[in-house]
A and B are shown apart, each in its own frame.
Chain A
Amino acid sequence: MAVAESTLTEREIPREVLPEEIRNRFFPAEVEDISGQSVWACMQCGTCSGSCQFAQEMDHTPRRIMEMVRTGLREQVLASRAIWYCASCYSCTVRCPRGIQVTRVMMALKSLALRAGHVNPRDDAPAFYESFLRVLRLFGRVHEPTLVAAYALRTRPTRVLGMMPMALGLVRRGRMAPLPDRAPGLAEVRRLMEAVEKVRGSESAGAREVALRSAGCPQAVRAARREEVALR
């Protein structure tokens, strides 16, 4: 199954529509690039959905998400609640008869949803993951009380009250570190984070162009280049 050939020419596509059309066509390749997994290998058997402990909470099952990615339904996938109900338990991954690491596909989708700002504000998981990353940048290691505080401030500050019994329980049992534990190589960890940004930046432009070309979309390649230049 291949991406449908575009019948539109550049002249026929209204300017404001073009970027979305590009992004939709680019979507499967974008997901493959980040996840390292071939979404085209999926045969839609539904083993992933049947293995998922969280499928009952999802608006689209994992099998459906895979097909929506291939169809280029970028907005619907990235705005779905399904991706945030993946707990990364890897049940789908070990059972997939096509060897697709569906968990890595889900991770790629979550990261794209965050970048695209598509996140459902009623879901607290994105805020938790982002708070985790923020604490990591601060100390190089994760300090649980700081993480919980950062997360509560971003979501519901009153959450802290509900967490007090648990926190006190940990303190009483000597299981709470009052002060953060700084990684000795913190400066290096921060440099590593910057290096990741650079590697990603330099690769996304190239990957995008290759993907668009293979999707048989020369007008989109040109538009993407224009967009790329405009962003500089």
Chain B
Amino acid sequence: MSRLRYAFYPGCTAHASARDYTRSTYATFRALGIELEEVPGWSCCGSTAVSNVDPLLGMALCARNLALAESTGLDLAVTCNACYANLAPTLEAYREERRVRDRLQRVLDAVDRHLEGEVEVRHGVHILTRDLGLDRVEEGVRRPLDGVKAVPYYGCLLSRPRNPYDDPENPTSLDELLATLGVEVLPFERKTKCCGGSFMNTKEEVALRLTFEILEEARERGAHLIVCACPLCQLNLDAYRAKLRARYGTYHDTPVLYFTQVVGLALGLDRRDLAIGQSFVPADRVLGLR
């Protein structure tokens, strides 16, 4: 079977708050024989922030990044849910809405870029579960995570506005991936509920309520671990535990890891290569590490 290769769009958090995500993505994907080549010259996709100030600019930033990816001849791999939910829908609108395409083409012309619309945008979760396939993941498992109970947290933007494989109301790809590793995947009603996103900066009380509800359900279900696929979700669920305790009187000690870290552990990779120690709530105990 030919090796899988992708142009990789790391996103702005890749070398900052989500350094652990990037590092574990490279390590895990390499171990599974998937090559990632960083898109040369990529810029911010605009996140939801830019689309709120200027929707056309939000799409234009995505269109340029898509054009850069397309010119490599490879499909585009994205791991940040927010980037994914910006790039993939922009591509879809570019293909299907004439007005959007006309405008974006004029903008791209001004910077001498061209987008045909043939590139595909793939989220890391789907690369493992669909492009590579669960059988191949299973073949690589050296250290099954038996006895670990986890809830998958998709957040908003992995399954919405839409992805080609998952039901937006009840996505299952992350569930399937974790089960392949030997993890006991618990049902999780809030798997696609919003964590508040950037409201943690602007409407803290609202975001804290949402993160509390998510953590509370995970605890009630008896989860040892929350597994996510988005830097902002990870940060919101991981880094505000002291504030949550001050507000609600409950301390949650459930760690939040990226799916790339969990897969990597099952593959038998070293915890340092997976940056396991970089989360606020330590995960070593529940994973039986050290």
Interface on A for B, CB 8 Å cutoff?
Answer: 34-36, 53-54, 57, 85, 87-91, 93-94, 101, 103-104, 107-108, 110-111, 114, 123-125, 127-130, 132-133, 136, 140-144, 148, 151, 165-166, 169-170, 173-177, 181, 183-186, 188-189, 191-196, 198-200, 203
Pick the interface stretch among B56-64, B128-136, B173-181. B56-64
Contact in complex: B194, A53 (CB < 8 Å): yes
List 23 A-B residue pairs with CB atoms under 8 Å apart, sorted by A's residue number. A36-B97, A88-B51, A89-B157, A90-B156, A94-B169, A101-B161, A125-B52, A125-B203, A128-B202, A129-B50, A136-B44, A136-B50, A144-B17, A175-B20, A181-B12, A188-B111, A189-B64, A195-B106, A195-B110, A196-B57, A198-B110, A199-B56, A199-B103
Within B266-290, which residues are at the interface with A (CB < 8 Å)? 277-280
Supposing A101-B161, A144-B17, A191-B110 touch, asked if A107 and B55 sit within 8 A by C-beta, the answer is yes
Complex Cα spacing A175 to B24, Å:
14
Contact in complex: B40, A184 (CB < 8 Å): yes
Contact in complex: B110, A142 (CB < 8 Å): no
Contact in complex: A136, B46 (CB < 8 Å): yes
- A interface: dominant SS: helix
Contact in complex: B201, A148 (CB < 8 Å): yes
Contact in complex: B203, A133 (CB < 8 Å): no
Supposing A53-B210, A183-B41 touch, asked if A104 and B201 sit within 8 A by C-beta, the answer is no
**Which residues from chain B contact A132 at a C-beta distance below 8 Å?**
47, 49-50, 53
Contact in complex: B53, A144 (CB < 8 Å): no
**Which residues from chain B contact A166 at a C-beta distance below 8 Å?**
239-240
Supposing A90-B85, A195-B110 touch, asked if A103 and B199 sit within 8 A by C-beta, the answer is no
Q: Is B196 an interface residue (CB 8 A)?
A: yes
Q: Is B193 an interface residue (CB 8 A)?
A: yes
Interface on B for A, CB 8 Å cutoff?
Answer: 12-13, 15-20, 40-44, 46-58, 60-61, 64, 85, 93, 97, 99-100, 103, 106-107, 109-111, 156-157, 160-162, 168-169, 193-194, 196-199, 201-203, 206, 210, 239-240, 242, 277-280
Contact in complex: B49, A87 (CB < 8 Å): no
- B interface: dominant SS: helix
Complex Cα spacing A31 to B67, Å:
28
Distance to closest chain B CB from A147 (angstroms) = 9
**Which residues from chain B contact A133 at a C-beta distance below 8 Å?**
49-50, 53-54, 57
**Which residues from chain B contact A175 at a C-beta distance below 8 Å?**
16-20, 278
Q: Which of B16, B97, B99, B161 has the most CB of A within 10 A?
A: B16
Contact in complex: A189, B17 (CB < 8 Å): no
Distance to closest chain B CB from A12 (angstroms) = 36
Contact in complex: B52, A111 (CB < 8 Å): yes
**Which residues from chain B contact A193 at a C-beta distance below 8 Å?**
57, 60
Taking A93-B160, A141-B12, A195-B109 as known contacts, 9 extra A-B pairs with beta carbons closer than 8 A to each other, sorted by chain A number, are: A89-B194, A90-B85, A136-B43, A140-B43, A142-B12, A148-B201, A181-B15, A181-B16, A183-B41
**Which residues from chain B contact A176 at a C-beta distance below 8 Å?**
16-17
- The residue in chain A whose Cβ has the minimal distance to the Cβ of B60 is A196
Distance to closest chain B CB from A206 (angstroms) = 12
Supposing A107-B55, A110-B52, A199-B106 touch, asked if A94 and B168 sit within 8 A by C-beta, the answer is yes
